[in-house]
Chains A and B, each alone.
Chain A
């Protein structure tokens, strides 16, 4: 009987332990590596709301860097087929642990749509990132820095490509880059690399809160900050962008041609650029300043709320291709890191010294609203709000510390040897050693008394209290002449 009791007790113990072990190994339920742990109805369970990349091992036997970790998630098909979020914000970063591959290297098929959350810190990349269709990379404010340290210059010399022919066989949609800073690693040996190139991504593809700059060591990106190629039609908007060329663009510094320092190249019709600052280091005596901050060589774009410093031209329109139907709103140029000679330069199929204008460009139907240009910067320097090579016009000279502004300048199309055009001025203009002799800038004035003073030839004036002989005036040879009706 005692044996029987003892045996029963042992079996009860074994059964209890078995139950508990079973319970222990099965609850909390097993989850996929990186799954979020959440409380379920009875125990902690896994959630596939996102995949936490920090749960993947690093070091010996594991992954060595954040890109490889993320890459393994893609390569091993851990993302739900409908799409998912990869949260890499908990991955520790180290400059001594650069990325030898991209997060999307080695993919043999298009991955599901995904959002990748990147951590604060510096991600040093040894190879170019090509972002697949439907993929969004989002940093932690501008504190997520992606630093280029390439071994060689890629065919398309940019740090990040928004799609390519492999990932976008029929074009891409929904590629997003947000809240990151792109720069060069302090020991980078390959210079002249640009920031982002979009040649394939269209609808719902955008860039927001992105900084492209150097790291204060005299080494900057000094490539194109953002290129929107001809295959990126209907992409955008490109918002809240900040580009700073490297300090070695300053006259006297060597090694990098400042001609490559371009803030944005636009070669497609887009949803526009809204909110941007482009700066480069240059001086008023530079003979090779960065030619242009924005090269606009496509139709139907809006560029709004933009500030320039240090480029010869702020926006150059139609420098290497036709550009029509564009709208520029609220642009400012200031002598901060360097002067801006022409805030907007409208090309006319002729090469211009120091400018990006070439013989293959042209511009028409351009509307400009709200320009402000500042000269000076502590030294004598004349800046111009608009240089229009199509009509041979220079609008508003800003000298020294004064600021020149323009309300509206609308360039239409060729008409009987001239061009349709309307502007509210202003009217001060003059030739300098660096600019051609400008044609006058006729405007339409109004007032309740007869006009006085000098005027731009061809301007008209409506006297709102005039009679048949004193209502309409025209400026002839810089003097007002009443038209008798």
Chain B
């Protein structure tokens, strides 16, 4: 009996040791300083594990009420609120491990919860799946939001989506002009300013995700990404904008808005921001009448839009896919279909020294490029206060499938798809001379529909036809001419006339 007791005691002792060892073998070593969310790596003894702060895994911290709340709690962590003190220099927060109901963000955004805000710097990696957002995500300076790819990571509006503390009805903002005396980060809560930092939101970016406004049932125009506060090194890349509501929507979605307030005297702007690259915009048949891919307004210059597909399938095509009312902006490698105008230039403000390159339109388009003949007091196109909004516009390689390829209302030139489905070069310069009605501009186009300069090694025999209605004044150089056949010809009243 005594032996039996001893045996049991011994085995209890063994079991206790075994349990301890099992626990030791399962739980990672906690000898290294660590916080929840640190990743585990093999240490210098080649055993597992030490903590690494290479990034913070948001799925391993105490979860908030939803993804946004969890991220907010990480960003505002101070070491005493249940979350590790967030690094002053910022960190990478990997939220790719969060899934399920937590992706329904009803609490606010990672940087704003109710009236509370923070401007902590972070690169946030979002998970695959749909993250439903109820409020605008205002991204502070130096910060980036990165998904797993368009169509893989989606930020989708809740039906009751509404703006955040700055009242901008955008899904995502690159910085903000929002100010508050309670902000310690500067005059502009998300972008510095004042005595502490310059008012200059830089290096704000959004990448590799879809912004979907389909579920939005509100009456306002909803903006995918708005930038009116971020400048150098701020960008949007590989982002898809989608608005395919199941029932009729009031105003629809404006995918990208780049805006500088030229009248308000604001210290911050979207000047020198971009590039805005590799974008896709799709609007379904129930999207609202305000549907638009992009608007660029008031900027002194940007790094341009490079790579954009812009498609709408509304019964009544929206007015314009892209409105360009800013200076020194390049727009290249663009396809547009399903709108009235593809690119509408200078309709509400100055648009000078812009470059459009490789612009293609689909079969459902009225004007691929519409150059408006508007005037504005802030335009510095010569000759002055009554100047047109548009001058020094360079267009390279415009291709239409229907309608008008280039409708230049400034000089009255209309290059239709029937005669000019491809236009190699169309450069609208500046006003020449003093006549403003009809206006006279320097202009060059490779289209033979309007005055151009042709060349060949045969002679357009005097009297042979040229475009009678619009190409009057075209030139032609015969490169193998003789004194009898002629070298220089001019198109007059529909026929070539030898000038020399």
State the A residues within 8 Å of B (CB). 2, 5-6, 9-10, 12-13, 16-17, 20-21, 23-24, 27-28, 30-37, 43-44, 46, 52, 54-57, 62, 87-90, 92, 117, 119-121, 140-143, 209, 211, 240, 242, 274-275, 277, 304-305, 307, 329-332, 334, 369-372, 374, 402-408, 422-428, 443-449, 451-453, 455, 459-468, 471-472, 480, 483, 485
Contacts and interface: CB of A to CB of B under 8 A. Distances in A.
A134 B322 CA distance: 40
A53 B114 CA distance: 39
Nearest to B445: A446
Contacts of A240: 233, 235, 275, 303
Contact of B272 (A52, A277, A405): A277
Nearest to A484: B499
Contact of B48 (A46, A57, A447, A453): A46
Most buried by A among B304, B354, B392, B471: B392
B47 A370 contact: no
A57 B41 CA distance: 13
Given A444-B442, A453-B434, A455-B433, A304 B330 contact: yes
B499 A143 contact: no
Interface stretch (B60-68, B84-92, B309-317, B363-371): B84-92
Given A242-B232, A447-B435, A141 B203 contact: yes
Contacts of A10: 10
B245 to A, nearest CB: 35
Given A304-B330, A405-B327, A455-B433, A33 B43 contact: yes
Contacts of B450: 446, 464
Interface in B39-53: 39-44, 46-50, 52-53
B318 to A, nearest CB: 27
27 contacts: A9-B7, A13-B13, A17-B17, A31-B47, A32-B42, A37-B28, A37-B49, A54-B52, A55-B44, A88-B54, A89-B55, A274-B303, A275-B275, A275-B303, A305-B275, A330-B353, A332-B328, A369-B394, A370-B353, A372-B327, A372-B328, A372-B353, A407-B429, A426-B442, A443-B442, A445-B443, A485-B492
Contacts of A465: 472
Interface in B413-437: 427-430, 432-435
B281 interface: no
A416 B422 CA distance: 34
Nearest to B122: A141
A212 B299 CA distance: 25
A184 B110 CA distance: 34
Main secondary structure of the interface of A (DSSP, over half): mixed
A462 B41 CA distance: 75
B443 A446 contact: yes
Interface stretch (B19-27, B74-82, B285-293): B19-27
Nearest to B440: A447
Given A424-B427, A445-B433, A23 B25 contact: yes
Nearest to B496: A485
Given A141-B203, A461-B432, A20 B17 contact: yes
B441 interface: yes
A445 B91 contact: no
Which interface class (under 10, 10 to 19, 20 to 34, 35 or more) fits B? Answer: 35 or more
B493 A55 contact: no
Contact of B42 (A55, A88, A480): A55
A27 B442 CA distance: 79
B39 A453 contact: no
B430 A425 contact: yes
B275 A407 contact: no
Contacts of B433: 445, 447, 451-453, 455, 480
B253 interface: no
B178 interface: no
Contact of A370 (B232, B275, B354, B443): B354
Nearest to A407: B392
A53 B122 CA distance: 21
Contacts of B44: 33, 55-57, 62
Contact of A20 (B21, B41, B42): B21
Contacts of B11: 9, 12
A34 B42 contact: yes
Contact of B233 (A57, A120, A209, A471): A209
B90 A143 contact: yes
